[in-house]
């Protein structure tokens, strides 16, 4: 997933904020299983993988449009809220439709319904809770990792080394001039 996102975003840092929401979805999925008193079985693990895909898609929608706006020349601090506002409706629509589409499976009766219900309950609970947290986390993480990507580490290290060597030279010169003053009769 990371390599595909790296190729898609053409950056090693931009997939990190997208995938930061994935670990957040695991506790929400397990919490929904616990609240609804369902076991962690194969179907619920399939539901967890489905949840990963949906949460990742939401992050991609947010960050991809932010990058599109930035490519058009919009400043980062303006592009992030504008992109998230523009993509809020598609993210909410897809999430609500997914939850509503899983309701018949979660509430279904009949042969095999109990086994498929755990998958639906993981997706419903995990998506509902994760949506509330991933919407603000992804843009904040994007801004933080963009700052990390902007840092020119080599130039900063050179500048720090130059300042340090200037201080050392200044101290050595001060010690030398102090010594000359003492040696003068």
Same domain, 184 and 157: yes
Query: What is the spatial distance between Cα 135 and Cα 140, in angstroms, rounded to a whole number?
Result: 9
For residue 72, the model assigns a pLDDT of 93
Same domain, 62 and 147: yes
Same domain, 72 and 163: no
pTM: 0.71
For residue 153, the model assigns a pLDDT of 62
Same domain, 147 and 157: no
Query: What is the spatial distance between Cα 61 and Cα 177, in angstroms, rounded to a whole number?
Result: 64
Same domain, 174 and 101: no
CA 89 to chain centre: 19
Query: What is the spatial distance between Cα 124 and Cα 16, in angstroms, rounded to a whole number?
Result: 25
For residue 4, the model assigns a pLDDT of 81
Same domain, 178 and 117: no
Same domain, 56 and 13: yes
Same domain, 144 and 156: no
For residue 173, the model assigns a pLDDT of 81
Same domain, 63 and 79: yes
**Mean pLDDT by groups of 10 residues along the chain of 185 residues:** 77 81 85 86 89 88 89 91 91 90 86 82 87 85 83 69 84 78 63
**22: Cβ contacts below 8 Å, ≥ 6 apart:** 52, 55, 56
Domain count, the chain: 2
Eight-class DSSP state of 37: T
Residue written as token pair 């992050």: 59
Same domain, 65 and 124: yes
Same domain, 132 and 166: no
Burial (CB < 10 A; 0-12, 13-18, 19+), residue 148, is exposed
Residue written as token pair 């904020």: 17
Among the listed residues 74, 55, 62, 49, the one whose alpha carbon sits nearest the alpha carbon of residue 14: 62
CATH number of the domain encompassing residue 133: 1.20.1640.10
Q: How many CB atoms lie within 10 A of CB 58?
A: 24
Query: What is the spatial distance between Cα 9 and Cα 3, in angstroms, rounded to a whole number?
Result: 10
Q: Which domain holds residue 173?
A: 152-185
Same domain, 38 and 90: yes
Query: What is the spatial distance between Cα 120 and Cα 101, in angstroms, rounded to a whole number?
Result: 9
């Amino acid at each position: 997933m990371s390599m595909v996102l790296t190729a898609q975003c053409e950056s090693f840092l931009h997939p990190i904020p997208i995938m930061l929401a994935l670990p957040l979805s695991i506790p929400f999925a397990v919490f929904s299983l616990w609240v609804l008193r369902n076991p962690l079985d194969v179907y619920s693990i399939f539901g967890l993988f489905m949840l990963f895909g949906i949460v990742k898609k939401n992050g991609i929608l947010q960050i991809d449009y932010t990058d599109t706006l930035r490519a058009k020349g919009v400043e980062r601090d303006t592009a992030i809220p504008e992109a998230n506002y523009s993509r809020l409706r598609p993210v909410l629509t897809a999430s609500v439709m997914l939850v509503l589409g899983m309701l018949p499976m979660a509430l279904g009766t009949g042969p095999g319904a109990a086994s498929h219900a755990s998958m639906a309950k993981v997706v419903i609970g995990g998506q509902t809770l994760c949506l509330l947290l991933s919407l603000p986390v992804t843009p904040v993480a994007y801004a933080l990792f963009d700052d990390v990507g902007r840092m020119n580490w080599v130039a900063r290290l050179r500048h720090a080394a130059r300042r340090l060597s200037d201080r050392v030279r200044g101290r050595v010169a001060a010690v030398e001039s102090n010594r000359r003053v003492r040696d003068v009769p």
